[in-house]
Structures are given as structure tokens and as C-alpha cells.
Structure 1
Amino acid sequence: MTGKNSSLMDRTFTPLSFAMLQLYLLSMLFFTASSILTIIFPLQAEKSGISEGEIGFIMGITMFVCMILRPWAGQMIAKYSVKKMMKWLLVGHAVTLTLYILFGIHSLYVVRVLQGIVLAFFSMAMQLGISDLLRNKDRGQGMSMYTLSTVMPSLYGPILAMLLWQQLDARYLIGCIVVLAIFPLLLLIGAPLPQHQKTFVAFSIRKLLGTVKETRSNKGLLIASFTMILGATIIGAISTFLPLYMLKFNLGNIAVYLFIQALVVVGSRFMLRKRIPSDGHWHPNFIVLVLLSSTIGTTMLAFGEELGYFIYLSAIFNGLAFAMLYPTIVTYISFAIPEDKKPILLGVFLATYDLGFSFGSLAMGIVVQYSSYAMMFIVCSIVALIAIGLVLLKRNIR
């Protein structure tokens, strides 16, 4: 390890230190592009006559690819260091956005696959980096602040996306995407990401499966993973189909709804960051409250036509669920996984979020296509209730 790397590892960072704020800003810029394009893509697809089922597939494929690659992302990061991998994946991010600029809607499948590849490495690099830079007692706050930075773009992204879609011509969208491709690369310069390489042991699929099997006795990891899958299914469905639902039935202003939801997410993750359990124990009561909030939010969406402007209340409940679910479960998993297997298993268990999100987009797209949006949101509420039952049945785990 070089003197520079040793100096970095010897320093003590706090969740709100300037160095960590630089990383949060980098994350915010990276996810701004996703926030805008997540709104634009379904609108472009529907305008082109693509069915809800195919839209769900297009939007879900990114997280599916991300799920598959996460374990190998952890391996590559351990081998080459967080800083070096971050450099190359941000170049890949710029290339992906360039392809969309050049080919537009005809590149959707390719762009969504490439987004999944880049996201797998980016999220793993940031979370492994934060785990290395912060003390154990600050890890929960750090993870919360990181996830906060990933949802900050949802405050302004949907509004900007709708403005670009409805009011301005394509040149403004292209200009915006170009800026978002370049700025993260510039911000990477001087970023305090770990540059040290960890002990690297290549693994095959057989070894990966064997390592996962070793964790079957850890009931906490299993319950956390299933809860993450079910919760992410709801998030995936809402993220993909809410804009189409509100625009189709003229249910208020989608930009206002997403702004309220994002404001709740951002405010909750900041103000409640110290409430996120960071002691390595499973907290079922906390998780149940989060899932209850999701149940209320999706049930209100199911009756959106009857609620009128009261539909905005559902943004508060969904925002609370979005804010608390991911950082709480990720923090628990980061403690529950054995340290020597973290580069492999952290990717595996974080992939449960990707699996749920992808399944939510795909499966709920089929529900919408053959039933209705209202039925889709009712199914989401049922999924949340199943997750609550699972947590309550297995509440006595550590």
C-alpha cells in the first residue's frame, strides 16, 4: 500500500465531512440522469405505441442486469480498488448517455442494459467505499446520506423531465444529458475514494453458490433479503407506472406529486438518519412501520380517481416507505455479512433490491396490460402486507 493510500485510510471521516459531501454530490449528479430518463423513457415508449407489458420489461431490464452483475462488481472492486473502478464506470456512464443522444428511442434496450452494468458497479463502489471510510457507529448515517444523495435528483428531476418533454424541444434534452455525462467525471478528480486493493480471490458460479449456501443458517439475512425483494417490487411498480397512470386519468400534476414524494424521502432520510438502526440487530417493529406506510400509500393510489387531489397524500406515505426501507436493510446486511465474504455477499444481497425492482416493473406491467392500474396498486398493497406478515412471523432474529 502506498503512502498516499495509507494516509487516506488513516484519516477519520464523519458522515457530514467535506470529503464525504463530495462523494454525495458525485452520486447526486450520477443519478440525476437516471431521474430524468426514468420519466422520459416510458413517455417516449407509450407515444411510440409500445404496450404496458413491454414498457415494464424495458424499465425492469436495467435492474435485472444490475442484479446479475453485483457479485462480480464487488469482486472487481476488491481487485482493482474503488477509485480505479469508479473512473472506468463513469466513462461507461458517459458512453451510455452518448448512445441515447445519438439514437434516441431506438437505443432504449441497449441503453437500459448499459445503465444496469454501470449502476451495478457504481452502487457497489460507493457503498464499499463508504463502509471503508466511516467508523462502524457512523455507517448507518453514511448509508442514509448516500441514499439521500441518490434520491435528491427526484426533487428536481421529474419537474425538469416534464419541462423537457412538454415545453422545450429536443435540443435542450440533449444539452442536459451532455452536461450530466461530463460533470461526474470532473467531480471524480480529488474524490477521497479508497485506492487500496483488497485481498483478491477469483470465484466461479459454483463457489458463489456455495458461499451463499453458507449463509442459510443466518435467518436475519434471509428475512432481510425477502423483505427487500417484496418492498422493491412495490418501488419498481410505482417508479415505472405512476407517471403514465396520473397522465392517463388526469390525476393532478405528476411533477407536483413526485416533488412531494421526493421531498418526503429527502427530508426523512436527513432528519431520521440517526434513527436508522446501526447496531447490527434486526428491528422488526421499525420495518413493519415502514411497510405499513407503503400499504397505505399504494391503497390510496388504487382509489386515485375517487380521491381527486387527496391523491397527493399518498405521496407522503410512499415517500416515507421509499426513504426508510433501503438504508435500514442495507445497514443491517452490512453488519450481518461476514467481513471476509463481504465483497461477494454484499453484492449478492444488495441484488435482492434489483430483483424486486425489476420484477415489480415487469410483473406489474402485465397486470396493468390485462387488468387495470387500480388493480396493480391493490396487488402492491397485498405484497406489502405479505412482507409485514413475514417480518412479524420471524421477528425473533438477530
Structure 2
Amino acid sequence: MKISPLSFSMLQNYGLAIFYFTANSVLTVIFPLQAADHGMEEAEIGLMMGIYMFVCMVLRPWAGQMVSKYSVHTVMKYLLLGHVAALLFYVWLGVESLYVVRILQGIVTAFFSMAMQMGITETLRDEDRGQGMAMYSLSSVMPGLYGPALAMLLWVQRDISWLLIFITFLAFAPLLFFMKSPLPKIKKENASFTLKDMIEGMKLARANKGLVVSSGVMLIGASIFGAISTFLPLYLLTTDTGNVGLYLFLQALVVVGSRFIFRKYIPSDGKWHPGFITLVLGSSIIGTTLLAVLPLIGSFIYISALFNGIATAMLYPTLTTYISFAIPESHKHVLLGIFLASYDLGFSLGGMLMGIVIQFGSYPIMFAACSIMGVVAIIYNFIASSPKERIIIE
């Protein structure tokens, strides 16, 4: 039976997502600071942070088939135990475990986000998917309102004990929301995860224009988001031109507000909307350009949080909603995994490659490169979806 995106059952799912991503929000700030404090350079920090999403990318398509075969509920149960193991490993070994923990987080997140989004797709009516995806995305970014501030508060105290206690709590908290979970327990008949099926899915991906175009835009957009997420705290701290906690709070506030206020405006008709995508990418360009000229604008840097927040809020749910219509039902789970892998790859490359740019160039050059990437995404968006070949459901 289909339910409302704001029903109690769905709110329980959103709560599960909030507690899961709170750990990511805190550690995404702590890990680069802790790594730099132990002598890592920007390129190595980018690699360490980027490997998280790279692992997600590799596992996404397989995760989709596993969820389909064993049900959303069953997979969620085991991946939450994996979440506990990853965080407790960090609590045990500290900074020496950063690479291993990032890999474990990548494995768990690949299955978590896939299970949640497939659960939303199977639970909600077609016309409510846009709202459901937006609310899930909202839940995943709400920790950004308080996570960075908590991270900085724990960091400046230089007392690792409180941080480890908090991380231990976050390891077990999602399990409380999973109890009596409304996530679907239905298994898909004849669902498989063979190499042959994966190859067939890849062939379909190349032939599906909607998937190719949306994945391309997602790849570029995620690269920008990955660079900002990885290096913004270090940028503000090294230049001493802004408060990291305040900036990230303002950006997260905009993300949360935008995803809730504009959730009904996210296209949910299965058609490609290049004008809407351009507005989102344009916001990103303004935000990264302001970061690139930070030495000139000083305190006005906080304005960039507004534009970066809007771009972060709207791009992912818009493209995810579109792709839920644009891929054939027969290979839906594999193709959805391939699409989501484009976000993971982009986010990973944003940290890995831009770390090299910073190490051999500078932070302003890196953010200027992000602005150029945004322009490229807009051009690709219009060229690939020209009026003669307007993308609809393939």
C-alpha cells in the first residue's frame, strides 16, 4: 500500500537517515583537520577523503541488485551493523585508521543510500516521488546544520575523549530507528547479481540518452561539491578569513530550507528540464567564484554559502527523480546504481584531483576551476538535450 511522503512511517525513515548521516557530517570535518594536524598534504588528504565515494561508486550497481534480491529491510539490517563496526574501528585506532574507516564508510553508504532510495520508490506513489526524494535528501543534509559546529567544538577543545564518546553514540543510534522499521521486506523474484547482468545493464546505460545526460551533469556537479566539502574547512582555517562552523551552518541551513520549501517544484513528470538544471548550476558557479576571490571580499564570503547551498540542495533530488522515470523497469535497480555511481565518482574526483590542484597551485585556483566546470556542465546540459532531441522517458 502506497503511503504519504510525510506519514509517520516515512518520518521514521527520515530519522534513520538523519542519525546515520550525522556521523558522516562530523567526521567529514574532523578527518581533514586531523590528517593535516598529523602532517598529511592536500593531495593525500584529497585521496583519503575521496576514496570514500570511490568505493561507493564501485559498489552502487551491485548494491542495487543485492537490495532487490534480499529486500530493502534485510540489507539495511546488515549494513547498519557494518556502520557500527566502521565507527568503532575509528574509536579504537584513531588517526591511524582513517583510510580503512573511509573505505568501510564507502561500502556501507553505497548500500544505505541505495536501500533508502529504492525503499522510497517502492513505497510512494509516482506523483509523490519528487517530494519523497527531496525529504530523504533533506534528512541526509540536516546534520550539516549542527554536525560541523559540533565537530569544530570538539576539535578546538583538543580533547579526543569527548569526540570518541560522541562517535560511539552515533554508531548505535541508527539501530533504534530501524527497530520496527517500515522499510519494504519484499524480495524481487529472479533478481540476480551476476556479471552477465551487470554487463547487460552497462550496455543499456550507454543506449539510454536520459541516463547518459543526467549522469554527466551529476558527475560534474558532484565534483564541485566534493571539492568544497573536502577543502573548504582547511581553506578558511589557513587563510583565517572566516568561521568554518558558521559558514557550514549557513550553507546547511540553505540546503535544508531549499529542499523543504522547493520540494514541490522539483520536476516529477519524467521529462528533462534544461532551464531548471541551468538555474541550479548557475547558483553553483556564483558560489565557487565567490570562494575563488575570497582575498578580495573578506566577510562577504558567507554570501557564497547561499549559492552553494541552493545548488547542493536541488541538483541531486532533481536528477534522481528524473532518472527514476527515465530508466526501464526491467533493469531499474542496476541502472539506478550506475546513475548514483556517477555522483560518487564525481564527489571522489572532486577531492582527489582538486587536492593536487591546490598543492601545485592554490585554493583560489581550485575554486576557479570549479566555476569553469559549472559552465561546462551548463553547456553540456543544453547541447545534449537540444530541442530536436529533447529528453523524455527512454
Same-fold call, TM cutoff 0.5: yes
Structure 1: any 5+ residue segments left out of the alignment? 1-9
- The match for 1:290 is 280
Conservation of the 8 A alpha-carbon contact between 1:219 and 1:397 = yes
2:206 counterpart SS class: coil
Asked if 1:172 corresponds to 2:166, the answer is no
Deviation at 1:220, TM superposition (A): 1.7
1:326 is aligned, of 312, 316, 340, to 316
Question: Does residue 293 of structure 2 align to residue 303 of structure 1?
Answer: yes
Equivalent in the alignment of 1:316: 306
Specify the alignment match of 1:256 in structure 2. Answer: 246
Is the CA contact (8 Å cut-off) linking 1:82 and 1:125 kept in structure 2? yes
Given that 1:83 and 1:193 are in contact with CA atoms closer than 8 Å, whether structure 2 keeps it comes out as yes
TM-superposed CA distance for 1:168, in Å, is: 5.6
Residue of structure 1 in register with 2:40 after alignment: 50
Which SS does the other structure have where 1:16 is aligned?
coil
Which residue is 1:397 aligned to? 391
Secondary structure class of the residue paired with 2:311: helix
> Deviations along 1:67-91, whole A, 9 cap, x unmatched?
0001111111111111111111000
SS of the equivalent of 1:44 reads: helix
Determine whether 1:266 maps to 2:226: no
How far residue 206 of structure 1 moved from its aligned partner, in angstroms, is 4.3
Where in structure 2 are the equivalents of 1:1-398 lying within 5 Å? 10=1, 12-167=2-157, 169-395=159-385, 396-398=390-392
Give me the whole-angstrom Cα distance separating, in 2, the residues matched to 1:108 and 1:339: 39
Q: Which region of structure 1 is more displaced relative to structure 2, 117-126 or 78-87?
A: 78-87
Mapped to 2, the partners of 1:310 and 1:373 lie a distance apart of 17
Alignment-derived partner of residue 5 in structure 1? none
1:167 shift after superposition = 2.3
Letter in 2 for 1:126: M
Q: Which amino acid aligns with 1:183?
A: A
TM-superposed CA distance for 1:382, in Å, is 0.5
Maintained 8 Å contact 1:78/1:200: no
1:297-336 Cα shifts (integer Å, max 9, x gaps): 0000001111110000000000000000000001111111
Cα separation, 2, equivalents of 1:47 and 1:262: 26
Paired with 2:235 and 2:190, the residues of 1 have a C-alpha distance of 47
> Can you give the 5+ residue segments of structure 2 that lack an aligned partner in the other structure?
none
Contact kept in structure 1, 2:224 and 2:370, CA below 8 Å: yes
Distance in 2 (CA, whole Å) between partners of 1:215 and 1:252 is 43
What per-residue deviation string (whole Å, max 9, x for no partner) do you get for residues 38-91 of structure 1? 000000000111010000000000100000001111111111111111111000
Q: How many residues align?
A: 388
The TM-score with structure 2 as length reference comes to: 0.97
Q: Distance between the aligned counterparts of 1:180 and 1:200, measured in 2?
A: 36
Matching residue's letter, 1:161: A
Mapped to 2, the partners of 1:297 and 1:199 lie a distance apart of 46
Counterpart-to-counterpart distance in 2, 1:112 and 1:90: 15
Partner letter of residue 335 of structure 1?
A: F
Contact 1:75/1:200, CA 8 A, preserved across alignment: no
In structure 1, distance between residues paired with 2:166 and 2:190: 39
Contact 2:205–2:335, Cα closer than 8 Å, also in 1? no
C-alpha distance in 1, partners of 2:189/2:155?
48
Letter in 2 for 1:270: F
> 2:28 is aligned with what amino acid?
T
- Classify the secondary structure of the residue corresponding to 1:229: helix
Query: How far has the Cα of 1:103 moved from its partner?
Result: 0.2
